[in-house]
Structure 1
Amino acid sequence: MAEKVSPTRLQLLAIKTQIALAQQGRDLLKEKRKAMMQELMGAAAVLIEKGEALERSAAVARRALALADAFDGDQAVNSASFAARGEASIAIDRGHVMGVPVPKFEHKNFSRSLVARGYSLIGTSARIDDVARRFEEELNVVVEVAEREATLRRLAAEIQRTSRRVNALEQVTLPRLLAQSRLIGMILEEREREDLFRLKRVKQKIYQRK
């Protein structure tokens, strides 16, 4: 259903003002989207680096575990792992990237000293110590990767929302306002021609009476 618009000069001025504001808003959103895209590309590059670091760290940890299993046996490794269990506490705060709220993971370094791990140092080999150290290092990288992934997802979602707003302005709002502006302009021009025609006829009648 077409929207009814009063064909007056005041309404035409109001619509032209809306057009200018919509165009300005669209341009600002495009600039914001461009800046966020650049930020997204940078975040993606960092995530790739962190992901590769995680793969390397995981491979090193698995090799250390395989070595300990081979030389010390599953029982010794499992015994040390049960003794070394503990809580991995992570506090989630909120930061901002380009005005977009993103999670920030606050945590202590998961790498622990030999004593802090809790297992007996007498009956445990250096290989098992190395396994614990490698997996603790891997856990640190896991948290970094998780934070980067969350940031990337938030940025991507905001870019999509911004794109939808730009599309709505370009494909719906601005075409509607421009069509209304053209329609009112045509009506006002037609009225001016009619008024001018009537004025000429009045002048002619006045001239004829003289």
Structure 2
Amino acid sequence: MDALIQEFFHIMESVSQSRDELERRADVAQHSLLIALAVDDPVTLKSASFATRRGVTLEIKGKNIMGVPVPIIEKKRFVKGLLERGYSILGVSGRIDEAAENFEAELDLIISLAETETSLRRIGSEIQMTRRRVNALEQVLIPELKRQAKYIEITIDEREREDLYRLKKVKKIIERKKKTQSPQL
């Protein structure tokens, strides 16, 4: 369980760093979009955004971290080159291209963060379940086993005393028989 907790904290640190990076990237993307909106024609910006719409294709695989299944998201990079975005490079400004690139990079970070946060949640759940099991062992099973062991120990001691008593009685009977038989000889 210690290794699982160690892995949990390692992933938690990664999630924290990814969130900070995502916040920074979102601010940059939002800022670049606001600049593009302020300087460029809103119709051109909307036209470029409609041209670049595309589905997000992800392939989700799994792996085990110390027996805990976690997802691995296989993805293509979403940051596209100027010619791959689906709009004319002559019809839009560099500000729109920069905004598109920043939002594509943000999408990359969101997907990576989703993978690590899901891993963190699953490992956290496994740690909680393991703690419950350990608590059940410590609070219920182990005390019950100790009571049973004590009962067995008491029973064995009692039987030993009974056996010792019977042995003494048998010895006395044998001695009496010897005494009664020896005068006759």
Give the TM-score, by structure 1 length. 0.81
Deviations 1:173-209 (A, max 9, x none): 2221221121012112111111211221232233234
Aligned to 1:169: 137
Deviations 1:128-162 (A, max 9, x none): 11111110011111111111101101110111111
Could you say what secondary structure the match of 1:186 adopts? helix
Q: After the TM superposition, which segments of 4 or more aligned residues of structure 1 sit over 3 Å from their partners? A: none
Amino acid at match of 2:77: N
Aligned to 1:183: 151
Q: What is the correspondence of 1:110-149 to structure 2 with a 5 Å cutoff?
A: 110-149=78-117
Aligned to 2:75: 107
* 2:55 is the alignment partner of 1:90: no
The CA deviation at 1:77 is: 1.1
* Of 123, 126, 129, the match for 1:158: 126
Tell me the distance in 2 between the aligned counterparts of 1:83 and 1:204: 109
- Flag the structure with more relative contact order, 1 or 2, with Cα contacts below 8 A and sequence separation at least 6: 1
Larger Rg: 2
The CA deviation at 1:88 is: 1.2
The CA deviation at 1:53 is: 0.5
Aligned to 1:208: 176
Tell me the distance in 1 between the aligned counterparts of 2:122 and 2:2: 15
The CA deviation at 1:56 is: 0.5
Question: Which sits farther off after the overlay, 118-127 or 33-42?
Answer: 118-127
Tell me the distance in 1 between the aligned counterparts of 2:157 and 2:16: 61
Amino acid at match of 1:86: R
Q: What is the correspondence of 1:69-84 to structure 2 with a 5 Å cutoff?
A: 69-84=37-52
Q: What is the correspondence of 1:9-88 to structure 2 with a 5 Å cutoff?
A: 33-88=1-56
Give the TM-score, by structure 2 length. 0.91
Tell me the distance in 1 between the aligned counterparts of 2:104 and 2:62: 25
Tell me the distance in 1 between the aligned counterparts of 2:33 and 2:163: 94
Could you say what secondary structure the match of 2:78 adopts? coil
Amino acid at match of 1:191: R
Could you say what secondary structure the match of 1:93 adopts? strand
Tell me the distance in 1 between the aligned counterparts of 2:124 and 2:94: 45
**Structure 2: tracts of 5 or more residues without a match:** 180-185
Tell me the distance in 1 between the aligned counterparts of 2:103 and 2:173: 103
The CA deviation at 1:63 is: 0.3
The CA deviation at 1:60 is: 0.3
Equivalent residue pairs, number = 178
Tell me the distance in 2 between the aligned counterparts of 1:95 and 1:73: 47
